[in-house]
């Protein structure tokens, strides 16, 4: 294995593999009202422009993942999801730290993301990692009650 990053609680971060698509779809559905289907993850995992990172243990039980898109000198955090039993334990931070370390070897110099304005834990993490809000998108996220949530658009320089 050529890429490996340490994570808390005996986990590590490594690139995702096609065989992980089912688990990634499951984790995504646990974290978002409209989870993405396995077919979408298969497409992402087969595309070099959408690197995906998993936090897992030595037996490759996946606790979370981060999926990004690379375009020229920019990157976008398309999604990040952590198993509910692993939330609040530093897994999301470890995933993003690994993403940032890997991006240092790429042409990417800026990262963008969208986050539900009500997702205070995620916003707090992103701000701690140097992201700042640059705009918002009203009605961006569908909610279970039929309403739509506003997304904050955040960015960070990668150095």
Give the active site residues: 114, 126
Distances from the Cα of 59 to the Cαs of 14, 15, 31, 92, in angstroms? 13, 15, 23, 19
Q: What is the dihedral of CA 137, 139, 141, 142, to 10 degrees?
A: -170
Bridge-based pairing of strands 110-116 and 74-82 is parallel
- Order of strands across the sheet that contains 12-15: 5-6, 12-15, 52-56, 62-71, 74-82, 110-116, 148-157, 132-142
What's the CA gap between 4 and 11, in Å, rounded? 11
Beta strands in the chain (DSSP E): 5-6, 12-15, 52-56, 62-71, 74-82, 110-116, 132-142, 148-157
Q: Dihedrals φ, ψ of 123, to 5°? A: -60, -40
């Amino acid at each position: 294995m050529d890429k490996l990053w340490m994570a808390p609680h005996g986990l590590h971060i490594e690139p995702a593999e096609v065989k992980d698509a089912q688990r990634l779809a499951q984790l995504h559905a646990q974290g978002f009202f409209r989870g993405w289907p396995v077919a979408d993850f298969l497409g992402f995992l087969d595309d070099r422009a959408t690197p995906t990172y998993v936090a897992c243990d030595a037996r490759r039980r996946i606790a979370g993942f981060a999926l990004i898109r690379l375009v020229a000198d920019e990157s976008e955090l398309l999604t990040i999801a952590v198993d509910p039993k692993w939330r609040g334990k530093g897994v999301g931070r470890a995933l993003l730290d690994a993403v940032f370390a890997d991006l240092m070897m790429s042409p990417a110099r800026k990262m963008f993301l969208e986050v539900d304005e009500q997702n205070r834990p995620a916003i707090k993490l992103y701000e701690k990692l140097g992201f700042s809000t640059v705009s918002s998108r009203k009605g961006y996220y569908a909610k279970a009650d039929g309403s739509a949530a506003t997304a904050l658009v955040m960015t960070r320089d990668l150095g």
